[in-house]
Structure 1
Amino acid sequence: MQQAKKRRLLASVAAGTLGLSYLTAEYLFNFAFKRVDYVPETSADKQKYAAQYWRYVDWFKKVEKEHWTWSTDDGDDQMSAYFIPADDSTKAVIISHGYKGNGETMANYAKMFHELGFNVLLPDDRGHGQSAGKYISFGWLDRLDYLTWLNRLIKRLGAQTKLLLFGVSMGGATVEMLSGEDLPPQVKAIIADCGYASIHEELTYLLKRQFHLPEYPIYPLVSTINRHRLGYYLGDISSTDQLKKNHRPIFFIHGEKDTYVPASMALENYQATDAPKELWIVDHASHAESFWLDPTAYRAHIQAFLNKYFY
């Protein structure tokens, strides 16, 4: 009798624990993956750059540009991007934005590349900005969308165009994951700033650091929820796996003091590819701060990489 009561109690505790774990996973999935129709306030360490940031946004709003769209397979959902043309230039960069950002939030990079003579394309990823999508795919579905954007650029600029892939944070991981796809020959080089090595590694790191939660059972439950909502497990999302298939020159940039995506992930990504590669760990820079810390030095490093591998 006592044994039966004990088994029922243990079963009840186990069921309650599982239920609580699922509710926690559902909350975290919605918190991290659900679309947000606004750009959250930047982190405290970068608010000191607000005046400079809004000057770049003002430039973006005023510069001549075109709104490009295309429809997904079902025809109901549209993907959105802004194209900033450059006079008499057949080189172009596609700029991939960060988590819960949009193309406009990359105005500083857009202006830098435009001044370097590039046509600039600024997509809004799935679940961001003016593009469709209920959920954020952390670059995994976006990498395939970017194949469409690349073909649109080639159609607009001609087969002789030379294309550069550039991204920051989630955008850095997006172009790293894109590197493993069958890219058109016009893509000549890639620049990835503070991209993560894999979603598994990134989310388990943040679970511990931000929420003080263990990997198990939360991460597998979030991954299962993602499988039901978006069609794939989180273990599929890996920059390092995709970089193993890359053969294009790639430049990795990462802030030394990044506590959101640790700088150790830059080394993982660097080691994953056998392509021509360079790595710049930026002293004193936090997450996605490398440009803002010294825009002149940032531009000079990118120009040096382009001189070596792109032109």
Structure 2
Amino acid sequence: MKKWIAILFLILCPLVAIGIFFTNKMMYIRKLTDDELMKRESDEGHYRHDEFQQLKKEKVCIPSAFGYDLHGYFVPYVHATRTIVLCHGVTVSLINSVKYMKLFQKLGWNVMLYDHRRHGMSGGKTTSYGYYEKEDLAQVMKWLRERLGDNAIIGIHGESMGAVTTLLYAAKPEANANFYIADCPFASFEDQLLYRLKTDFRLSGQWILPLSDQVLKWRDGYSIRQVSPLDVIDQVKEPVLFIHSLHDDYIPCEQSQQLYDRKKGHKQLFIAPHGAHAMSFSENKEAYEQEVQAFLQQFESNKDKRGE
């Protein structure tokens, strides 16, 4: 009996170690430092630290349902009655959202930008690629609705993981944003991980992914398959603009095409001809702005037809 226990132990230990290794890669993915991010965004012409420091803004602290605080800024625009929420991607912080803030300010919108859990100034120990982040976004929306009222027009713009968070939130029955913009989301976490395992590690993922899934459930309380915008996109009733770079080799643009094809109702798709992952705006600035404006104009037109 002891022999079989020893054999089982020798088999299980390496498997658990492999599962912990890969879930560590997910849960504790390396983040850019503030200096690294500010330099990158400054070099691309999107961010000036002194300008952001002087910006008229209200510091916001919103309690998460998971026991930590979400930190960000509400940036009012003179006489603006409409607000956009900006959700950044994995490894970065709200600094990455400043370029989109400027886009919407040009259009006359208030802006809410905040740090996701485990990023920037916000609390939280792990990154969950939208699973827990969507519940945090719900708290941000609750804060905004209490401040602005149920009749205020509020949209959400997300990039990469922020786009996944946006779509997962949009499918919640209690979601109450008026429209969504999803820039370079994955369609399902499972497919994305299979793609990254093949690309980064030259592994098929046939046994690593199920193993990692079991370890992830044990360590962080959710399953990989529970992070799938594709499974819930048909529940999103509000308008969605999907954006993706044609040559994105981190999350292939086919993922946005899948989401667009399955989405019902008002939807638009912009495949940017230039740029890598999350670079659609940087490499196609004029076209990006035009697509966003056209989407918002169509949203306004449909709203007026409904008499809202």
Q: TM-score, normalization: structure 1?
A: 0.87
From 157, 167, 179, give the equivalent of 2:170. Answer: 179
Residue from 106, 109, 116 that aligns with 2:100? 109
* Contact kept? 1:114, 1:120, Cα under 8 Å: yes
* One-letter amino acid of the structure 2 residue matched with residue 300 of structure 1: Q
Give, in angstroms, the shift of residue 135 of structure 1.
0.4
**Partners of 2:280 and 2:30 in 1: CA distance:** 26
TM-superposed CA distance for 1:37, in Å, is 6.2
Instruction: Confirm or deny: 8 A CA contact 2:47 2:99 kept in the other structure.
Output: no
Aligned with 1:268: secondary structure? helix
Q: What residue identity is the alignment partner of 1:210? A: D
Partner of 1:22: 16
Task: For residue 48 of structure 1, report the CA deviation from its aligned partner.
Answer: 9.7
Deviates more, 1:97-106 or 1:153-162: 153-162
Match of 2:122 in 1: 131
1:305 aligned to 267, 290, 295, which one?
295
Q: Which residue of 2 aligns with 1:156?
A: 147
Q: Which residue of 1 aligns with 2:306?
A: none
When residues 86 and 135 of structure 1 are mapped into structure 2, their CA distance, relative to the original with a 3 A threshold, is same
Alpha-carbon distance in structure 2 between the residues aligned to 1:263 and 1:154? 33
Cα offset, 1:200, TM superposition:
0.5
Counterpart for residue 185 of structure 2: 195
Q: Is the 8 A contact 1:261 1:287 kept in 2?
A: yes
Residue 112 of structure 1: how far off its partner (Å)? 1.0
Distance in 1 between the 2:284 and 2:247 partners?
15
CA offsets per residue over residues 114-164 of structure 1, 9 Å max, x none? 221111111211111111111001011111111111121122223331011
| Structure 1 portions without partners, runs of 5+ | 1-7
Structure 1 residues 62, 49: closer, same or farther in 2, change over 3 A? closer
1:60 to 49, 52, 55: 52
Deviation digits for residues 247-278 of structure 1, max 9, x if unmatched? 11111000000010011101111122112111
Asked if 1:278 corresponds to 2:272, the answer is: no
Corresponding residue of 1:5:
none
Q: Distance in 2 between matches of 1:154 and 1:310?
A: 20
What does residue 4 of structure 1 align with? none
SS in 2 for 1:252: strand
Q: Are the aligned partners of 2:187 and 2:229 in contact in 1 as well (CA < 8 Å)?
A: yes
Instruction: Check the 8 A contact 1:180/1:243 in 2, yes or no.
Output: yes
Range with greater deviation from structure 2 (16-25 or 115-124): 16-25
Tell me the distance in 2 between the aligned counterparts of 1:48 and 1:36: 18
Q: Is the 8 A contact 2:247 2:273 kept in 1?
A: yes
Change (3 A) 1:73 1:194: closer
Take 2:260 and 2:52, find their aligned partners in 1: how far apart are those partners? 32
Q: Distance in 1 between matches of 2:111 and 2:41?
A: 27
**Residues 18-27 or 157-166, more deviating:** 18-27
Query: RMSD across aligned C-alpha pairs, in angstroms?
Result: 2.5
Measure the CA separation in 1 of the matches of 2:99 and 2:160: 15
Partner of 1:221: 211
Is contact 1:126–1:142 with CA below 8 Å preserved after alignment? yes
Structure 1: distance between partners of 2:11 and 2:251: 30
Paired with 1:165 and 1:87, the residues of 2 have a C-alpha distance of 20
Q: Number of aligned pairs?
A: 296
- Does 2:240 align with 1:250? yes
Query: Closer, same or farther in 2 for the Cα pair 1:237/1:59, shift >3 Å?
Result: same
Aligned equivalents of 2:52, 2:11: Cα separation in 1: 50
Change (3 A) 1:98 1:58: farther
| CA 1:310–1:227: 2 relative to 1, 3 Å | farther
Matched-pair contact (CA < 8 Å) for 2:273–2:284: no
* C-alpha deviation, 1:53, in angstroms: 3.2
Q: Structure 2 length as normaliser, TM-score?
A: 0.88
Once residues 14 and 178 of structure 2 are traced to their aligned partners in structure 1, the CA distance between those partners, rounded to angstroms, is 49
In structure 2, C-alpha distance between the alignment counterparts of 1:72 and 1:36, rounded to whole Å: 22
Distance of 1:62 and 1:183 partners within structure 2? 36
Which amino acid is 1:52 matched to?
G
CA distance in 1, matches of 2:81, 2:44: 33
Which residue identity is paired with 2:47?
A: W
Q: Is 1:98–1:168's contact at 8 Å kept on the other side of the alignment?
A: yes
What amino acid does structure 2 have at the position aligned with 1:175? T
Contact 2:86 2:111 in 1 (8 A): yes
Distance in structure 1 (CA, Å) of the matches to 2:205 and 2:279 = 28
